[in-house]
Amino acid sequence: MMSVKKAIIPAAGLGTRFLPATKAMPKEMLPIVDKPAIQFIVEEAVQSGIEDIIIVTGRGKRAIEDHFDKSYELEETLFKKSKLEMLNTVQEISCLANIHYIRQKEPRGLGDAILCASRFIGNEPFAVLLGDDIVNSQEPCLQQLIRMFNRYSSSIVGVQRVDWTEVHKYGIIQPRNKDHEEEALAIERLVEKPLIEEAPSNLAISGRYILKPEIFDILANLPAGAGGEVQLTDAINVLHESQEVFAFEFEGERYDIGDKFGYVKATIDYALQREDMKIEVMDYMKQLLESVKV
């Protein structure tokens, strides 16, 4: 069985939920404190053993490429000013991984974005990490899924439970009866953004996948689905007709940073984890609570 060494990060979305901020800036570059959201995703992939990453971009996304590239002028300025700690931080970004880029020429959905990277992946299993989901966990989220892939030799979909009122925002899985000896759930089917009364569970697909390369032939021939877009969930349903697909409920705190409140929550939580900010943020939050009580 081939190991998972390549990953796709789709980053071609318009980010309409964060307008006007995303009118001129990619949503993936919105910072969580002082680190762009997409850097969290790349770091997770690297920590999980991924060696090559392809980021699928679109128009107006050049800032992503610039961020992971070397910046000679900036590095020289930091060196001359003896800001060596910051210089080291900046240099580490450009050395994180072998990062490649391809453009999705028109917004035809997540499935089409992944298909754009098919030649880069070739005939290998690969990971998909969506930029709207940041996971804070002891063991990197993607590494958990790779561990499951190595165990089951099957495509793995990362899931977490969401409130039933939120199921219409996600792809939802219908699991088969669980074998209590198994860590992963065999999938019966996937449903894209169902109504509450039609949702087969509250297990939501949460932005992490390990997929076998057969998915590319399916995506290439798949008609548009919900929203007039090529849906990855539809392709996985077709893949499931010929091979087993599993869902794995990974451990960790997931932040949906495509949602405004999820983004604010992530920013606060990550700020509270930093020694240089924790005390100030906690003091400020206490002041806010006191003002509300008054």
Query: Would the pLDDT of 181 be above 70?
Result: no
The answer for residues whose C-beta is within 8 angstroms of residue 224's C-beta and 6 or more apart is: 108, 109, 230
Residues forming beta bridges with residue 128, ordered by sequence position: 8, 209
Ranking 22-26, 180-184, 198-202, 241-245 by mean pLDDT, the lowest is: 180-184
pLDDT-derived band at 180 (thresholds 50, 70, 90) equals low
Predicted local distance difference test score (pLDDT) of residue 9: 96
**Domain 6-258 - what CATH class?**
alpha beta
pLDDT-derived band at 228 (thresholds 50, 70, 90) equals confident
Give CA–CA dist 159/248, Å, rounded. Answer: 6
Ranking 113-117, 146-150, 189-193 by mean pLDDT, the lowest is: 189-193
pLDDT-derived band at 67 (thresholds 50, 70, 90) equals very high
Give CA–CA dist 137/84, Å, rounded. Answer: 29
Average pLDDT, the chain: 90
Give CA–CA dist 75/180, Å, rounded. Answer: 54
Spans of all domains in the chain: 6-258, 259-294
Distances from the Cα of 76 to the Cα of 70, 170, 181, angstroms:
11, 45, 56
pTM above 0.85? yes
Query: Would the pLDDT of 58 be above 90?
Result: no
pLDDT-derived band at 248 (thresholds 50, 70, 90) equals very high
